[in-house]
Amino acid sequence: MSSLFSKFKKGLLKTTTSVSRGISGVFTNEKAWTDEQFDDLENLLISSDFGVAASLSIVEDLRDRYKQGKIATFEEIDRIAAEDVFKILNKNQREINYAPKGQPTVILFVGVNGSGKTTSIGKLASLWQQEGKKVMLAACDTFRAAAVDQLKIWGDRTNTHVVSALHGADPSSVAFDAVKSAQARNADILLIDTAGRQHTSKGLMSELSKIYRTINKLCPEAPQEVWLTVDSSQGSNAINQAREFSKVANVSGLVLTKLDGTGKGGMAVALQQEFGFPVMFVGLGESPEDMQKFNPKFYADALFNVGIGA
């Protein structure tokens, strides 16, 4: 078993336990399974935040295979469900869109307060610094002194330069200064933190659009990525956040946080099925090392406790 797959298994343990026990409880070794049992499986997946559309699709596939005599044990249900989840997650999966050599890759982070956005930025800075990349941070959440301070702490921890301004400064002006500084310092990656007020705030959405336009004027190809951070335990609220942010922020990918703290780790499946956003990174624990590049195969196998992620 690879060490990386082990991290996925550990981080998803609460969800795996819930789903595996649920499946084994629903499908016993009786001679015949009923439609009611498949309905129970559908409810189990929905309650684990796989989303209605994905849950229906997975269960329909299982039901058809059972009627054709292709499956007979709940272990086979785990395997096939994992295969179906992998197909959903892998459909739009891609590598990071890095900038051409000589230009900084600008990644704009959006998401509500409490989603783990600033912490994710710090952990990713640590990860890329360890890979030998020159990283810079920009504190564009200028309305919360605590957010700026938190980013500066991560800057100190990772020996990463942080561009910031006085409390209440125009966020787009900070973004402008950060991009100019990243260009002057020959930075490889610039990670930009933004305000995280609720997604229903029209002012916030207007602010994000302005930051995006400012960055794009300095670097026509930037930002290369706009990542929405989502607290994986938020359920339907996470879906609503993704829907609203995608309207104004040109979301290109997701960072899922707090997967280790929830028994409802199916959110990656629901978001992929609903919006087609690739999951770029997942938070599988508290330490910086637990922020991992997303692997659809490892995720699917770990969720249903099958395979070794090979």
Q: What confidence score (pLDDT) does residue 146 get? A: 84
- Asked if the peptide bond before residue 223 counts as cis, ω within 30 degrees of 0, the response is yes
Asked if residue 127 lies in contact with residue 291, where contact means CB atoms within 8 angstroms, the answer is: yes
Q: What confidence score (pLDDT) does residue 197 get? A: 65
Edge-to-edge order in the sheet of strand 105-110: 161-163, 135-139, 189-193, 105-110, 225-231, 253-257, 279-283, 291-293
**Nearest CA to 279 among 264, 260, 266, 288?**
266
Can you tell me whether residue 196 is helix, strand or coil? coil
Q: What confidence score (pLDDT) does residue 249 get? A: 81
pTM above 0.85, yes or no: yes
**And the tokens for 56?**
């229906």
The alpha carbon of 200 is separated from its chain's Cα centroid by a whole number of angstroms, namely 21
* H helix intervals, 51-136: 52-67, 74-90, 117-130
Q: Strand 135-139 relative to strand 189-193: parallel, antiparallel, unpaired?
A: parallel
> What is the phi-psi region of residue 88: left when phi exceeds 0, alpha when psi lies from -120 to 50, beta otherwise?
alpha
The alpha carbon of 18 is separated from its chain's Cα centroid by a whole number of angstroms, namely 21
User: In DSSP terms, which residues pair with 230 in a beta bridge?
Assistant: 256
Q: How far apart are CA 304 and CA 23, in angstroms?
A: 9
Q: What confidence score (pLDDT) does residue 308 get? A: 57
Q: What is the pLDDT along the chain (310 residues), one digit of tens a residue?
A: 578 899 899 989 998 898 888 888 888 766 788 999 999 999 999 999 999 999 999 999 999 999 999 998 878 999 999 999 999 999 999 999 999 988 999 999 999 888 899 999 999 999 999 999 999 999 998 888 888 999 999 999 999 999 999 888 899 999 999 999 999 999 999 999 998 765 456 677 788 889 999 999 999 899 999 999 999 888 778 888 888 888 878 899 999 998 887 777 889 999 999 999 999 999 988 888 889 999 999 999 999 988 755 4
